[in-house]
Structure 1
């Protein structure tokens, strides 16, 4: 479905739990603290799929 858009570049932004400490400091429950960052191999696999579809892809911000 993305091929039909003007999107040419994709930035894959892996999940991180950088906000965990902020939430704890504020006394707020952090509901996603068990989520894990995707492995490098999974990130590369996803990147390759987008590249095969004709997109320019970058992992990270």
Structure 2
């Protein structure tokens, strides 16, 4: 069962899955690896961008 929106019914399905009353759909094991890889790449590129912006910042001039 897949829902396209976050509805109360969707949350109920998730609660039933957690309680063990409803079996989750089988997943492709590669999907978890790809999701983790994308998360790491996203965090890495975000940190790299912030690092570069901080590196370019000029120190304040003393009066």
What's the TM-score once normalised by structure 2's chain length? Answer: 0.31
Higher strand share: 1
Higher relative contact order (CA 8 A, sep 6+): 1
TM-score (norm 1): 0.32
Give the number of the structure whose alpha-carbon radius of gyration is greater: 2
